[in-house]
Amino acid sequence: MIEEFHFNIFNSIIAVGVIHGFFFSFFIFFRKKYNTKLHVFLALTVLALSLNNLQYWLYDVELLKNSPVLTKAYFLFEMLIGPFFYLFVDAYLQKQICFKKVALVLTPFGIATISRFISYTTFQEEVYKRVYNSYLEIVILIFNILFLFLIFRAIFIYEKKSKLQDGNKIIIKTAWLKTTLFVALGTIVFWVLGNHFITLPGFTRYYPLWITISFLIYWIAYAAIFKAKLFKERKVIRKKVAILEPKSFIQPQSLVNSKSEKKKTNSKLYADFEQLITEEKLYLNSQLSLDYTATKLNISANYLSQIVNNHSNYSFTDYINQQRIGLAKQLLVDPEFDKYTILSIALETGFNSKSSFYNAFKKVTQITPTQYKKSQLN
C-alpha cells in the first residue's frame, strides 16, 4: 500500500518540519505562562507555516489523489502567514492590537478561500481553473509582499523612535526580525522560480520553497521564544537595579597602582563625574560615551579623560566597565536571577552584547561570568 505513495528524502524533511511546527504551536497554546497575545500570534504564525507545508506535502506524496472533495477544500494558508507574523511583530514591539486590526488583516484569507472554493465548484473545464489560479497566485504574491513591507516599516519606525528613548526604556532587539524577513523574501523568490522558471516534474520544483519554510518554522519558533524570554528577564532585572542603592564598584587598590603618584587636580570635577556615573547610574546606558559624559559636565572630552585617569588610574572606558562588572557580579550571585540568562544580565548592566560582556568581565576578574558564578555559589 505504501508503495503507491511518493515518499523521498526531501518531503520527509518537510514532514519533520510540519510535525515540529504542530508540537510547538500546541505546546504554546496549552501552557498558561505563554498566555499572551505575543505568544498566541507566534504560535499561529508557526501553525500557518506548518499547515501550508502539510497541505502541499499531502499533494506531493499523493495522499489526496483519490479524494476530489479534499482537493476542492484547499485552504490558502499562505495568506495567513504574513498577517499572523505582522500581528506578532506588533505585539513584540509592544504596539496596541485591537480586534478591528485582527479582523482587517485576516479578512482577505476568508474572501480568497471562499472565492477559490466557489470557482472550483463552478468551473468544470481545467482551462478556466488554470486562469483563475494564475490570477490568484499574483494576488497572493502581492499580498505577502505588502505584509513584508508593513513589517519592515513597523521595525523602521520602532528603531527610529528607540534612538530618542531615555535609558529607562528597554530597547527591543530587532536584528533577528530583519533576518527573518530576508529569509521570507527568499521564500517568495523560490515561489516565483518554482512556478515559472524551474522545469522539474510535479511538485519537485517547490522543494526549495518548502524546505525554506521548514527552516522558518524552526527559526521563528525558537528565536521568538528566546527574545521574548530575554525581554521579560530584562524588565525584572531593571526594576531590581532601579531600587538598589547607588554604589561605586571601583576597586580601591586601583587608585594607587601607578608607578608614580600623579598630580590630582580638579577634585571637584572628578567628584561631579563620580556622582553622575554612580548616583545617576549613567553607566547602565549602553550608548554612554566620553563625549556625551563630557557634555553633561560642560567640559571637553580630552579634559574629562585626563581627570578620570589622574584620579582613578583608569581610562574612561575601563572606569565604566569596572562599574558595570561590579553590578554584574552582584546580579550573577543573586538567587532571584539564578535561572536568568547571562545575556539578560549583560544587557542590563550596560553592555551591547554577550561577547563584549565576557571580554570586559575576563579583563577585570581574569575569569568568565560563568566561572565566577560557579565559584561564588560553591
Tens of pLDDT, residue by residue over 175-186, are: 888 888 888 888
- Is it the case that residue 317 has pLDDT exceeding 90? yes
Average pLDDT over residues 258-283: 78
Co-location of 233 and 290 in the same domain? no
- Predicted confidence at residue 229, as pLDDT, reads 87
Give me the sign of the Cα torsion angle 89, 95, 97, 100.
Answer: negative
Residues 93, 179 within the same domain: yes
Compute the Cα dihedral for 153, 155, 156, 161 and give only its sign. Answer: positive
Q: How buried is 205 (Cβ within 10 angstroms: 0-12 exposed, 13-18 middle, 19+ buried)? A: middle
Is the confidence at residue 255, as pLDDT, over 60? Answer: no
Residues 279 and 332 in one domain: yes
pLDDT attached to residue 258:
47
Are residues 138 and 203 both part of a single domain?
yes
Query: What local confidence, expressed as pLDDT, does residue 140 receive?
Result: 86
CATH number of the structural domain spanning residue 316? 1.10.10.60
Q: If pLDDT is split at 50, 70 and 90, which confidence band does 232 have?
A: confident
Identify the CA nearest to 238 among candidates 276, 289, 281. Answer: 281
Domain final residue, candidates 241, 266, 296: 241
DSSP 353: S
DSSP SS3 for 29:
helix
Residue of 133, 142, 113 whose CA lies nearest to 51: 113
Residues 151 and 182 in one domain: yes
> In this model, does residue 5 exceed pLDDT 90?
no
197 and 157 belong to one structural domain: yes
pLDDT at 2: 46
Q: What is the pLDDT of residue 377?
A: 74
CB 46 within 8 A of CB 21: yes
Same domain, 104 and 186: yes
Q: Is the pLDDT of residue 105 over 70?
A: yes
Distance CA 185, CA 141 (A): 11
pTM: 0.77
pLDDT band at 200 (very low <50, low <70, confident <90, very high): low
Task: Give the pLDDT mean for 336-356.
Answer: 92
Helix locations, the chain, DSSP H: 9-29, 37-60, 68-72, 78-92, 99-122, 126-162, 175-196, 207-243, 267-278, 290-297, 301-312, 316-332, 342-348, 354-365, 369-377
Task: Check whether residue 184 and residue 250 sit in a common domain.
Answer: no
How many domains are contained in the chain? 2
Residue 254 has pLDDT above 70, yes or no: no
Are residue 67 and residue 189 in the same domain, yes or no?
yes
pLDDT of residue 370: 92
Q: 198 pLDDT band (50/70/90 cuts)?
A: low
More confident residue, 325 or 159: 325
Selection from 142, 12, 166, 152 nearest residue 85 by Cα = 152
Which of 67-76, 202-211, 212-221 is modeled with the greatest confidence?
A: 212-221
Res. 256 pLDDT band, cuts 50 70 90 = very low
C-alpha grid cell, residue 188: 517568495
149 contacts 181 by C-beta, under 8 angstroms:
no
Check residue 346 and give its pLDDT: 94
**Is the confidence at residue 87, as pLDDT, over 90?**
yes
Lowest mean pLDDT among 112-121, 281-290, 364-373: 112-121
Is 261 found in the same domain as 234?
no
- At 11-38, the pLDDT tens digits run 888 888 899 999 999 988 888 878 888 8
55 and 78 in contact (C-beta within 8 Å)? no
Q: Of 219, 241, 263, which closes a domain?
A: 241
Q: Which of 209, 241, 273 is the last residue of a domain?
A: 241
Specify whether 212 is located in the same domain as 308.
Answer: no
Among 46-60, 187-201, 262-276, 282-296, which stretch is predicted with the lowest mean pLDDT? 187-201
> 252: which DSSP letter?
G
Same-domain pairing of 258 and 171: no
How far lies 84's CA from each of 37, 79, 103, 220, in Å?
Answer: 11, 9, 11, 12
CATH at 83: 1.20.1070.10
What is the model's pLDDT at position 349? 93
Q: Which amino acid is at 297?
A: L
Which structural domain, as residue segments, surrounds residue 166? 2-241
Q: Using 50, 70 and 90 to split pLDDT, how confident is the model at 223?
A: confident
